Amino acid sequence: MNLSRRGFLGFTAALVPIHQAATREAPDHEGPAGTGGRGARREAGGTLYLGTYGDGIGIATYDAGGKITKTGTIDGIPDPSFVIRDGNFLYAVNEQDIGAVTAIDISTTPKVLNRQPNKGSGPCHLAKVGDHLLSANYGSGDLAVHPIAADGSLGQQTDLVKHEGTAPHAHQVVQAGEYVLAVDLGTDSIYTYTLAAGKLTLQHQAKVKTGAGPRHLVFHPSGMYAYVADELDSTVTICGYNNGVLTVLDTVPTGAGENYPGEVVISADGLFVYVTNRGHNSVSIFRTNEAGLELVGTPSCGGNWPRHAAFDPTGRLLFVANQKSNNVVTFSVDQTAGTLTQTGDFSTPTPVCVNV
């Protein structure tokens, strides 16, 4: 299984969250990062940073109703297909054959601090773990580790860990308490590591169904369950989680036909899971009972090829990045019923990541 990312659906006839701005930090008691849509009753409105293929990170604002307005671009950042924020700093992958990661200061006028090669190919996802930045390399199937200096800049790489298998494709990296989890589409596995002194040590490997192609996962707020979006067989794998170990419990389809799931997020109360479907061009809405998922709807994504999705901090808005139709669609979220109502449509070139 040797899939190129940009052309992934050149692979079928037509591939980056756990997105940290759409998630909240892991609670101290071991609950993993990866729950989305923080539920605090705050006024909506804020800033979006838009990852893309090409040069530069887009900057936009949004109001309480979800209307998006472009405000600028951070130039000089090649192929920033995944972007995370940590206070006054942004970190972006440079998803190219010779991979790199970039640090940006956004405390005033945005400026690039530095860029470091990560010695892998096709980096597509990031996580900040303590004072280190971890990147997942899709092309070379490995994880890279860089220290973060006090000024936000990146130091030289301290580790590069290759996933074993015929064709590894690391697709996501996320912190879960004292552990780091990495999802690999090529090996149908989720790896659990510990990180110490800039080095990763493998602790566990969980296998999902052969050929499922796990892409991203998100944790239930209880920290006891994880939901894995499987890109290649259009399913969600439900796993139990305890002390760094994932155990497969069940698998459910994301809807009819081939959907190539892109992103999976969860409401802050854990009642609803949302999965973007590239192909069907929809968002699957699941009601959870923790260890189970019930499909309750598949509304249109408002565009073509919904690559990514992220909640705003109130959990009342959901932004969906439609890669092929060049638009980000805003949905109002009914936090009781879980339903989505489209309220906005913003045109922007090749959006593949929305950082809120």
Q: Identify the CATH number of the domain in which residue 312 sits.
A: 2.130.10.10
- Looking at residues 136-155, what average pLDDT do you find? 98
Residue 11 lies in a domain: no
How far lies 210's CA from each of 7, 46, 165, 301, in Å? Answer: 22, 41, 12, 29
Domain assignment present for 66: yes
> What percent of the chain clears pLDDT 90, i.e. is strictly above it?
85
Distance separating alpha carbons of residues 69 and 150, to the nearest angstrom: 32
Asked, for residue 9, whether it belongs to a domain, the answer is: no
Please check whether residue 81 is in contact with residue 51, taking contact to mean a CB–CB distance below 8 angstroms: yes
Q: Which residues contact 77 (CB under 8 A, 6 or more apart)?
A: 55, 56, 57, 92, 94, 102, 104, 112
- Determine the average pLDDT of the residues in 124-141: 98
pLDDT of residue 43: 67
Number of domains in the chain: 1
- pLDDT, residue 20, reads 33
Map residue 8 onto helix, strand or coil: helix
**233 pLDDT above the threshold of 90:** yes
Q: Is residue 205 a part of any domain in this protein?
A: yes
The predicted model gives 253-267 an average pLDDT of 93
Strand partners, 145: 134, 159
Cα separation, 130 vs 75, whole angstroms? 28
Task: Tokens for 278, please give them.
Answer: 């590239």
Q: With bands split at pLDDT 50, 70 and 90, how would you rate the model's confidence at 42?
A: low
The position carrying tokens 């050149």 is 10
Domain housing 31: 16-355
What percent of the chain is modeled with pLDDT above 70? Answer: 88
Look-up: residue for tokens 């860990």? 161
Structure tokens at 299: 């509304």
What's the rounded mean pLDDT across residues 134-146?
Answer: 98
The number of residues in the chain equals: 356
7, part of any domain: no
Q: Which residues contact 196 (CB under 8 A, 6 or more apart)?
A: none
Average pLDDT on 245-258 reads: 93
List, in sequence order, every beta strand (DSSP E) within 138-255. 142-147, 159-162, 170-176, 179-184, 189-196, 199-207, 214-219, 225-230, 235-242, 245-253
Burial per residue of 97-122, b for 16 or more beta-carbon CB atoms within 10 angstroms, e otherwise: eebbbbbbbbeeebebbebbebebbb
- Which residues, 6+ apart, have CB-to-CB distance to 187 below 8 Å? 141, 163, 164, 165, 166, 167, 168, 169
Whether 252 maps to a domain, the answer reads: yes
Pairwise pLDDT comparison (41 vs 148), residue with the higher score = 148
Report the candidate in 317, 326, 309 with the shortest Cα–Cα distance to residue 275: 309
Any domain includes 3: no
| CA angle, residues 266, 280, 7, in degrees to nearest 5 | 95
Q: Would 2 be classed as within a structural domain?
A: no
Over the chain, what is the mean pLDDT?
90
In sequence order, the β-bridge partners of residue 325 are none
